[in-house]
Amino acid sequence: MKYQITFWMLVVAAVILLAGIAIMAGSIQTLLKSKSFQDKKKKNGGDALKTVAVLLMGLLFSGSAFAGGTPEQENPIFEPEMSDIIGMVIVDVLLLFIFIYFQKVFNNLAQELLPAKALKERSPWFKLNKVLTDAVDLEDEETVMMDHEYDGIRELDNNLPPWWKWGFYFTIGFAVVYLLNYHVFQYGDLQYEAYQKDMKIAEEQKQAYLATLSLSVDETNVTQLTDPAEVSKGKSIFKANCAICHGDNAQGNTGPNLTDEHWIYGNDIVNVFKTVKYGTSNGMKAWGDDDLLPNEIQQVASYVMSLHGTFAPGGLPPLGEKRESVTPVTE
Ligand code: HEC
């Protein structure tokens, strides 16, 4: 898998080289068929025949390289090994040499056969430059020279460079697609909606993260919640589960008064959390087994701690040790 990209890049390079070789071979063929070459051949038969023989060999070789290059592409689940990479590198280097050789042959032939200007016009660089810039040759500049002259500075009237025009057309096309996408069909989200969506996703991720955090609450990391929203959640949990034994206002019933300043099992959040989670042997069940989630225990324990010293009316007499206050919140 890890060689996949490298391998296919090498294959692509090989294909490009093969295409280059094929183009070169085609050009050489055209040169060989040209009249001037036929004339030369008559004068200088031996050399030309040799060249043709070499060329034909080259063509055959490139043909077989083509045939060898393709089967690998046909198998989509091919898993290249290091050896395949090395093989491909060798193929690429060979092809590169063939390409360079062909180019040399072509140049030699062309130099013999073609006038300098025609030769220049055949060079790929010249063609590329022509296609991209459409600039008039230095020698022909007179044809596009404008009439005016300022302090000896004269102006040419070249065509706009095609590369620039393509860019311009592209921006027009892009604008149309953009307009249709965002404003007409409204497939895409405008900045504000994209922002809103991202914020929503971020909020969900944050909630999910907080949920995992609160689910991982235990006696080693529990803190007392003071956020009123959390404490009021704790209050509803208390009403639903604990009021039956501890009284609606936690003043005590079969379970002890939780609003006085006396605690049997300690008054810091870790102790209260543990009492609720694991229960006691004396009538308090373990709420952490199936009934409450860790964060719910944290909430209800925080609510219970917020009741310290509130002395609900009708409270049962104190049990356990007197504590002045609950131990401060540990964050
Ligand atoms: C079935 C009755 C019952 C229910 C329901 C109950 N408790 Fe208790 N609870 C008790 C009893 C009995 C004790 C005293 C246990 C002891 O002395 O070992 C107690 C003790 C406690 C203590 C320890 C008090 C101290 O002084 O250390 C806390 C805190 C507590 N309960 C909180 C809760 C919470 C919170 C809930 C609801 C999730 C709850 N209890 C539900 C019966 C109950």
> Which pLDDT tens digit goes with each residue over 74-95?
555 677 788 888 999 999 999 9
Q: Residues near ligand 1 with C-beta < 6 Å?
A: 238, 241-242, 244-246, 254-256, 258, 263-265, 272, 275-276, 280, 282-284, 287, 300, 304, 320
> Which pLDDT tens digit goes with each residue over 216-226?
888 988 999 99
Q: Tell me if 51 sits within 8 A of 101, measured CB to CB.
A: no
In 3D space, the residue among 325, 288, 330 whose CA is nearest the CA of residue 306 turns out to be 325
pLDDT at site 53: 58
pLDDT at site 176: 96
pLDDT at site 89: 93
pLDDT at site 210: 82
Protein residue closest via CA to atom 14 of ligand 1: 255
Give the integer Cα–Cα distance in Å for 37 and 25. Answer: 16
Instruction: Give me the percent of the chain exceeding a pLDDT of 70.
Output: 84
* Band of residue 105 on the pLDDT scale cut at 50, 70, 90: confident
pLDDT at site 48: 53
The minimum-distance atom of ligand 1 relative to the CA of 283 is 12
Sign of CA dihedral 153, 157, 162, 164: positive
> Which pLDDT tens digit goes with each residue over 303-314?
999 999 899 998
* Band of residue 273 on the pLDDT scale cut at 50, 70, 90: very high
Query: From the CA of 185, how far away is ligand 1's center (Å)?
Result: 62
